[in-house]
Amino acid sequence: MTTTTRPHPPTPAAPTDIPLLAPEASRRLFERYDIGPRDGDGRLAVAAMSGGVDSAVTALLLRERGYRVIGINMRLYTPPEGEEYPNPCCAPEALEDARMAARRIGVPFYPINLEREFEETVINYFVDEYARGRTPNPCLECNREVKFSALIDRARRLGADKLATGHYARVTCDDAGIYHLREAVDASKDQSYVLYAMSQEQLGFMLFPLGNLLKSEVREIAELYGLDVAHKPDSQETCFVGRGAYAEFVTARRPGLNSPGDIVLTDGAVVGRHDGLIGFTVGQRRGIGVAYSEPLYVLSLDTDTNRLIVGTRDELSFTSLTASRAALTSDKWPDAPFEAEARVRYQGERYAATVQPLEDEMMRITFAEQPRAVAPGQAVVLYRGDEVLGGGTIESGKTALPLRLTVS
């Protein structure tokens, strides 16, 4: 579903005392930061500008590479009347930061409203997943359903040749014309995990100019150009929820999820009471509130019986999992099992694994080394070296020890 939005008039060009870098200066800058050649050749690129330093530098680098750049800011969430914005990244100040960055760089700027798409595909998904006792990844879903669907559609309608974002990731193309999604140079900022669902068509349309840069270099470039957002702090929380407030956000939309219930061991023994499943996630240790002979961890949330299932650290280990909505960045799903490394949590450890394709966009992943805290609703992402092969949504896991209760 799309929303018709009347474009605002183009923002005036930047003041004349802030010119484009001279070609020789640009070359020196690119060589210093491993940014790459000036390859725009007047082609049109849309840059998603959130109001942060990463997206501002993205637009700046595109301009310096010779692209004709249009900056677009996505309005995704407005809190109910009388409530404050839970995160600065969605507040009106972020829009103004993006607008001023575009003006400083000297590119046209348009805000667009994607709140309806965001509500339908991200917020509703977020709430529904928690209501099912699962742990959603809203950033991944926003990339899948909004940024690389609705926003790509907008960019194409503007006649753009490319869409660029400030994600820390890289795309390469081999001699056969196949695009490959790769990790960013800056491992601490790498966002390839939340991009695994991208198709060949999407990868070919995207630019990630920051993939070869360290975050410190991005800030330095912004400072060299006098961008006010050069030292603006990064947003760390879910944009429409804020720090630690997801339980309140979900229960306001799904009353009853904070009903008390039993805490049980894997043999069914009741060892305590909880104040609502919404306050727990798989793998959690702190806050269970049960005295036991050894530390207990959350193994699963049984929403049908409102029971919190807990167990020992050994019971938290998984030998395999099944995943839905499976996708490979090559767009080609093999018939035979293949070897890969699997990551079951953002920036988590990788585990050697065998991937078995199944029907209906499903796959089974069997681990050579047992990961802990496999949380239904989270993503499992497959790697080979620095390349992201694809991934899926975790549905269920098989534990290392035989359990009397189903972990799902």
Tokens of 137: 């990844």
Position 333: which residue type?
Answer: W
239 is catalytic: yes
Q: Are 146 and 76 in contact (CB under 8 A)?
A: yes
Q: Rounded distance, CA 248 to CA 233, Å? A: 25
Count of CB atoms within 10 A of residue 240's CB?
24
Write the CB contacts of 183 (distance below 8 Å, at least 6 apart in sequence).
Answer: 169, 170, 190, 192, 383, 386, 387, 388
Per annotation, catalytic residue among 89, 90, 139, 142: 142
Tokens of 296: 């207990």
Residue for token digits 């869409």? 163
Instruction: Mark out the alpha helices in 106-228 (DSSP H runs).
Output: 115-118, 124-131, 138-142, 151-157, 200-205, 215-224
The length of the chain is 408
DSSP state of 7: P
Q: Are 77 and 51 in contact (CB under 8 A)?
A: no
Per annotation, catalytic residue among 89, 90, 139, 239: 239
Indicate which residues carry an active-site annotation.
142, 239
